[in-house]
Structure formats: structure tokens, C-alpha cells
Homo-oligomer: A and B are copies of this chain.
């Protein structure tokens, strides 16, 4: 007899055999967990000053989500007339403080909420990394606590007037993803940029993330393929280190009818600039990877310009 847990509908919450022994079994079974959180409306009001909200997603870890989020933010903020905010909701693995060169910075509280940390006048950052006493501190939290932190980031941070809010996420389709979508359901999300690498093992997880977007009605802006070939610095030969055995992101995008925003080659200078907290785009602006990034960012700018946030996307 075959078991298919995916058929456990939410009507089974608290009633399934897997729920036995869970202290929350009764509350789930009662349906009390389904009541809407009042924070959704508070967040909608708080974020009326934020024009565009973009999620950076990937089913798989280590494909370059945080690197992309950081460099998308840097690139958007290179236009002095734009205000950019970067929110890291990877609660257990916050890489954004290091990549943005902000390690050791702390969050301060004012009358209007938590003040984010500023990289430049027009580039604000918030991450749980700023709330830890050491960058090595582990945040050993189950879902509800992570969700509470994400709620606080959205409701209690004083972002001010912002053109673009970029949200960097952890891998998967679980608490952080459901919470960010739920809490932003009143404020509205413009869309999601999906990151992958060329291998099928990565694309498989990315297809799951795309299904997630469909399920929660978040438009997919497009797909970015990272680590797309490596040019040997000595002989200029290109190697496919993570080979696109099933056609890479291009074939997946064709099959799913999604835009491929671009491909970014592997470049050791990207990893180095992330470790050192500097923008790769200003360090080596003429490199093929930086040029690819800038083209992708322009497509995202164009998407946002032509896109008006629906009143209630969820």
C-alpha cells in the first residue's frame, strides 16, 4: 500500500497520525490556527511607503541567492535617486551582514521602530545577524520563533520611503517562505526572482519553488542561472563545473514558459568580494559576470516599472 503524505490536506491538521504527541495537536484540529493574523494589516499600513517588493527565491541552497540579493541591492542603489532596502529572512543562516560588509553592526530602536543598518545613504539592510552577539552564534529556532522574527522585521522596522524592498530568503518552501508571503499578503509582492545553477539536482528544487509561487500566487519575474560555466584564468578554456545535464535553466524556462533573465558565469572574484563585504559590480565592473548581473538588474527594473502592485495578490 502506497503512502502519499502530500495528500494530507490542511483539513487533516491535528488529526493525522503524524500529529500524535504534538502539543499543538488540539489547537490545529480545532481550526483556531486558521484565523488571520492582525499583523497582516499592520504590515500593509507600515509598508505603504514601499513601492516595490521583490522576493529572491530558490528551492536549493548555495546557488547564490544572497549574493544575488546583495548585488541587486547594490545595483539598484547605484542610482542615487532610488531608496533601496534589503531584508534577510534567512533566520538560521544570515549571510547578508558579511556580504554587505556590515558585520559587527547593531540595530537601534527609535520611537518609530527598529532602525535598519545603512551601507550608504540610500541602501538600508536588516538581518538577524545584527541582533547576534557574535557572527558564529547559532539561531536554533523552530518555525514559530522564526515566523515571529519575520513579523517583527516587517512590522517593526522603520524603513521610511523606499523604492525597492529586496527580500533574501533561505532555501526551501517552509516556514520563512509561507510567513513572508502571508505577512506581505496585504502589502502586495511585485514578484519573485528565482535563482538556480545549471545541474538537474538544483533545477528539481527550483521547480518546486516555482510551484510554490504558483500556489501562493506570487508572479515569477524570471530565472537567473548562476555558476554557468567557468573560464580558466590561465588558458581561457570554459568548463561546465555544474554541467547542465538536462539543458540547464534555459530548457526549464522554455518548458515552464518563464523568462530566463540571464546567466552568470563562475568567477572567483565574486566569492572573494562576498567574503570581504564589497560589491563585485564596482570591484570588477567590466567582468563578464558583472555585465551579466547588470543586464539582469535592468530587466528587473523594467519589470517593476511596467508592473503595478495589485491590491491583493493573495
Closest chain B CB from A245 CB (angstroms):
4
Closest chain B CB from A74 CB (angstroms):
16
In A76-108, the 8 Å CB interface with B consists of 91-93, 95, 98-99, 106-108
> Which residue of chain B is the closest to A175 with respect to CB atoms?
B142
> Which among A34-42, A217-225, A305-313 touches the partner chain?
A34-42
Q: How many residues of A contact B (CB 8 A)?
A: 103
Question: A11 at the A/B interface (Cβ < 8 Å)?
Answer: no
Q: How many copies does the complex hold?
A: 2
Report which of B18, B62, B146 forms a contact with A149, defined as CB distance below 8 A. Answer: B18
Are B232 and A237 in contact (CB-based, < 8 A)?
A: yes
A5-B149, A243-B272, A245-B276 known; A143 vs B143 contact (CB < 8 Å): yes
List B contacts of A32 (CB < 8 A).
23
Are B93 and A59 in contact (CB-based, < 8 A)?
A: yes
Chain A, 1-34, contact with B by CB distance < 8 Å: what is the 0/1 string? 1111110100000001111111110011000110
Closest chain B CB from A27 CB (angstroms):
6
Are A93 and B172 in contact (CB-based, < 8 A)?
A: yes
List B contacts of A271 (CB < 8 A).
199, 201, 241-243, 245
> Which residue of chain B is the closest to A244 with respect to CB atoms?
B275
List B contacts of A19 (CB < 8 A).
144, 148
A interface residues (Cβ-Cβ under 8 A, vs B): 1-6, 8, 16-24, 27-28, 32-33, 35, 37-39, 59-63, 66, 91-93, 95, 98-99, 106-109, 114, 128, 131-133, 135-149, 151-152, 170-175, 177-178, 197, 199-202, 204-205, 207-209, 211-212, 215, 230, 232-235, 237, 239-243, 245-246, 266, 268, 271-272, 274-276
